[in-house]
Structure 1
Amino acid sequence: MENISQLTEIQPDILRGMADEIRSANINYKTVYGDYQSGGWHTTILYAPDGENNDGLVHDGEAKPTSLVNDLPVTQRFLEELGLEFFTVRIARNDHDSWLWEHRDYVELNEEKKRLRLHVPLISNPDAIMQFPQCKVHMAPGWVWKLDPTVSHAISNTGSATRMHLILDCYVNSTLRHMLNKETLEEDHVQPLPRLNLETHTKLLAQAQHLFSRQGSEKADQYLLKTFHQFDLGTQTSYDLLIDFYRDMGFRSRENYWISEQSTRIYHRGETNTGAPMFNMRGLLFSNPHASKSDLPQFSMFRQILQTCRLYPGLERVYVRGSLARGDADPYSDIDLLCVVAPEQFSSFLKQIDTGIKERHSPLGDAWVDTIVKDFGGVGFVYLLQTDKGLYQLDLYVACRGHPSLDHLNRVPHKQEIFRHDRNEGDNQQLDTLQYRLHSEMVEQEIRRINSIEPSVPRTLTELNVLGFMIKKCMKCGDEFVAGDEFNSWKRCFIKLVRQKFDKQHRDYGFYHVKRLMNEANDHGTLYEDLCAIAHCPLNLNSFKQVNRCAMAFVQKHFPDIYTQQQDMMEAVTRHIEG
């Protein structure tokens, strides 16, 4: 009864009078929502906000009678005596063997208003049916029926006679509330749908495959769409069957088409457009994400970085993580931000945000692609930012909305949401998953491309300096355990840099077979001795200063051009370590 019920009985003579005058009137029916039906479902508008029957669609506003109402005095009197607040009133005609596929309504309208749809069946037959996920209902003439169209529903008419209803889209006022107080639902009108089991599911897909090969995709599509009218699909929709069907066939374009259609028909009316930019970048900024540390220099810095992120289409959520989110940040803490981006703009956002960080925040060197942070369905970058308040590390992770790995974020113990783009369709995990799947090839290709960029001397040098910065920061904060782990990474990074000069073929060997570099370096074993000393060097501040100087001297000697290009970064990190 939450979805459908009987509200008020209608006198038979009034019902006959409305049906007769509508049948005899010269009505120009329109076919609207054509993609949502098999054909044979037609409507005409009686009341609309502009008083005109223009597009035949449902719109918000104070309904006014169209010119057609003048030819239907019995119907007009019935409607106006109800005392309801309409925003659209239509006549809907369903011919024999017509099907309106699974969908939800009102999802494109403002959620703040309370609405309900009323049906007044004028002409019907027992095989004219309204389907819901678990049952089907025959809306018999003689009643005003209530329908909540925000739940999934569908219509079929397999009887020999036409089904004709008045459809009243109403705002909930006191009159309608009074009618709802008396709602009922006679069991004779309701029939449960059988649950779709695995065996039947397999047979349906096999029959769809047969239809596809013999009669084409349209017949296969309609066959699977009718499953909503015939079965209780559980947590699935008829569109899920179509998506799975075409995925199993390897028919990517049809799979994407039905992902897009499910998104449109079930979740929102906005058509999926892979190339459209996102305007309307409204958002909510929480002014104090960690409550007790707003006087730290990082606080104003991440606000500025957030404003940079908001410049580019696609941004939907931003989280601050780490010590700033926990509330135990200190003046040396990193700035950890995670941006969640719409899948259709994931690639362009990655390029734009990297350019924006470089132009607006002057990082030292290029970003280092972070392969250490937990996978959230995207790509992580580490920047070193030189500010008037010191040298700071920005960890920026860009994740794709709907990506399966983004579920890991729910298990991160400390995070604060600091920005949310106001999406009209609201938060819906299944919709997000569909949108990701629609663009998954592009997203995964971009993630692979960035994470598999071939190491180079500049990139390795950037990594070495980022690690050096992190080691000094950890030691200053007394976190010797993390500093030791980072120091091991620093050693491996330095030997990789050495091998890129003298032993590129074995660049990723680490300290294995390092003795072969004695001959390659041609320096009487001096480099080999230095590498041995570094490999066994204990971690303390003085020893780390020495190995860092050794590394910077190596770069200056063997990669002079790159040293000149990245001199600002190396000198800034060295000052940080020495200081």
Structure 2
Amino acid sequence: MPTLHLADITFANRPSQLPLLSRLANILAASPAVTHLLVRGSLAHGTADRLSDVDFVVGVQDAALPAFARALDDLMSVEAGALLPGWRDTIVADLGGVGMVFLVPDEGHLHQIDLYLVPASHVPHLRATVATAVLLDREPALAPAEDTAVAERFAAEFFARPRTCAELLIEHLVLAVLLHKRVKRGQRFVAYSEWHRLHTATKDLIKTALVPTSRFWGWYQLREELALTPISRACLGDLEAAISGPAVPAASDVDAAVERTLALVERSCPEALHGLEDAISAYRTYLELM
């Protein structure tokens, strides 16, 4: 097992998330494909509170990046106890790799774990431009140009791939956790942005379930496409209810949005719930404790 350099970050702020951060770091560092583990965000800057997420940059050998990313759901579920498959993070800035968000229970709380996988060849540039604390620094094998091209192509295809109903459901569940944190912290501007993102995910979920071959972009022609059957009209009513709420949500609004989304999924694409019933029950319990 490699030595992880936790002393500096421990001395800086002794965050309550440190035991979880240490456990996750050991899980990730056990893979020989991983060359670097960097912590960024509030844990790296010494400004973390009890709601702060654990935000890793994971350097991976260029050629191994696609396989490591595909195995990440299983790794985080089996080894770290993640409740749900990872959400393809569309909020994080483009750092040359791919971002995933997992929800991991620890000490009675549900923690947001941000994992950004970056090709090892990109790590020097990233470290020069993004403030991080170093946990693991292995010398990577020299990546030939074709390996770097494989990693870059995978990253581009990763975000271009259309999302399934199950992925959009997970996006709702992750965004609800983020929104609860914004509400508790009084971060109204960020809450406004993520609330709109949740509404957009609701629209995307309905279109993916009911009109997957739609020729219209974004929010255009929704009524014309969705007012044709009882199920689609009910889903359109769910979307009307979502966008008719406040511009900045309260905690109760976020909880109502989660329940509305779960009902919408059960009505329009129940297969998206397959295998997630126990996870969603646990998720509801943790949400009540936030």
Q: Structure 2-normalised TM-score?
A: 0.87
Return the alpha-carbon distance in structure 2 between the equivalents of residues 313 and 352 of structure 1.
14
Q: Which residue of 2 aligns with 1:514?
A: 222
Match of 1:480 among 162, 174, 188: 188
The answer to whether the aligner puts 1:545 opposite 2:255 as a matched pair is yes
Letter in 2 for 1:308: I
- Relative to structure 1, the CA distance from residue 517 to residue 387 in structure 2 (aligned partners, 3 Å threshold; closer, same or farther) is farther
Q: Which residue of 2 aligns with 1:458?
A: 166
The answer to whether the aligner puts 1:378 opposite 2:97 as a matched pair is yes
Return the alpha-carbon distance in structure 2 between the equivalents of residues 282 and 390 of structure 1.
28
Q: Which residue of 1 aligns with 2:239?
A: 531
Q: Which residue of 2 aligns with 1:568?
A: 278
1:360, distance to aligned residue in structure 2 (A): 0.5
Written as runs of structure 1 = structure 2, the 5 A alignment for 1:386-397 is: 386-397=105-116
The answer to whether the aligner puts 1:317 opposite 2:25 as a matched pair is no
Which of structures 1 and 2 has the larger relative contact order (alpha carbons within 8 angstroms, sep 6+)? 2
Contact 2:177/2:287, CA 8 A, preserved across alignment:
yes
Written as runs of structure 1 = structure 2, the 5 A alignment for 1:182-221 is: none
Report SS of the residue matched to 1:466.
helix
Matched pairs, number: 287
1:290, distance to aligned residue in structure 2 (A): 5.2
Which blocks of at least 5 consecutive residues in structure 1 are unaligned? 1-280, 426-431
The superposition leaves residues 353-405 of structure 1 with CA deviations (integer Å, 9 ceiling, x where unpaired) of 443222111212211122331222221111111234211111111111223x8
The superposition leaves residues 507-559 of structure 1 with CA deviations (integer Å, 9 ceiling, x where unpaired) of 87443222125533426954433322311311222323222221111122333
Written as runs of structure 1 = structure 2, the 5 A alignment for 1:176-187 is: none
Written as runs of structure 1 = structure 2, the 5 A alignment for 1:314-393 is: 314-393=33-112
Return the alpha-carbon distance in structure 1 between the equivalents of residues 13 and 192 of structure 2.
28
Runs of 4+ in 1 over 6 A off after TM superposition: none
- Relative to structure 1, the CA distance from residue 475 to residue 568 in structure 2 (aligned partners, 3 Å threshold; closer, same or farther) is farther
Match of 2:199 among 480, 491, 503: 491
- Relative to structure 1, the CA distance from residue 546 to residue 516 in structure 2 (aligned partners, 3 Å threshold; closer, same or farther) is same
Q: Which residue of 1 aligns with 2:137?
A: 420
The superposition leaves residues 248-284 of structure 1 with CA deviations (integer Å, 9 ceiling, x where unpaired) of xxxxxxxxxxxxxxxxxxxxxxxxxxxxxxxxx7444
Match of 2:129 among 399, 405, 411: 411
1:477, distance to aligned residue in structure 2 (A): 1.9
Written as runs of structure 1 = structure 2, the 5 A alignment for 1:265-304 is: 282-289=2-9, 291-296=11-16, 298-304=17-23
Return the alpha-carbon distance in structure 1 between the equivalents of residues 107 and 30 of structure 2.
24
Return the alpha-carbon distance in structure 2 between the equivalents of residues 334 and 519 of structure 1.
40
1:481, distance to aligned residue in structure 2 (A): 1.4
Contact 2:235/2:264, CA 8 A, preserved across alignment:
no
1:578, distance to aligned residue in structure 2 (A): 4.4
Report SS of the residue matched to 2:227.
helix
Report SS of the residue matched to 1:439.
helix
Return the alpha-carbon distance in structure 1 between the equivalents of residues 168 and 220 of structure 2.
18
- Relative to structure 1, the CA distance from residue 344 to residue 526 in structure 2 (aligned partners, 3 Å threshold; closer, same or farther) is closer
- Relative to structure 1, the CA distance from residue 329 to residue 527 in structure 2 (aligned partners, 3 Å threshold; closer, same or farther) is same
Tell me the C-alpha RMSD between the 2 structures.
Answer: 2.7
Q: Which residue of 2 aligns with 1:264?
A: none
Return the alpha-carbon distance in structure 2 between the equivalents of residues 322 and 507 of structure 1.
39
The superposition leaves residues 138-185 of structure 1 with CA deviations (integer Å, 9 ceiling, x where unpaired) of xxxxxxxxxxxxxxxxxxxxxxxxxxxxxxxxxxxxxxxxxxxxxxxx
Q: Which residue of 2 aligns with 1:505?
A: 213
Letter in 1 for 2:114: D
**Which structure carries more strand by proportion?**
1
Which blocks of at least 5 consecutive residues in structure 2 are unaligned? none
Report SS of the residue matched to 2:213.
helix
Q: Structure 1-normalised TM-score?
A: 0.46
The answer to whether the aligner puts 1:471 opposite 2:191 as a matched pair is no
Written as runs of structure 1 = structure 2, the 5 A alignment for 1:105-124 is: none
1:406, distance to aligned residue in structure 2 (A): 5.8
Letter in 2 for 1:416: A
Q: Which residue of 2 aligns with 1:130?
A: none
The superposition leaves residues 394-419 of structure 1 with CA deviations (integer Å, 9 ceiling, x where unpaired) of 1111111223x86244222x321111
Q: Which residue of 2 aligns with 1:9?
A: none
Contact 1:384/1:394, CA 8 A, preserved across alignment:
yes
Q: Which residue of 2 aligns with 1:555?
A: 265
Q: Identity of aligned pairs, percent? A: 23
The superposition leaves residues 217-240 of structure 1 with CA deviations (integer Å, 9 ceiling, x where unpaired) of xxxxxxxxxxxxxxxxxxxxxxxx
Contact 1:321/1:416, CA 8 A, preserved across alignment:
yes
Report SS of the residue matched to 2:83.
coil
- Relative to structure 1, the CA distance from residue 518 to residue 506 in structure 2 (aligned partners, 3 Å threshold; closer, same or farther) is closer
Return the alpha-carbon distance in structure 2 between the equivalents of residues 384 and 463 of structure 1.
11
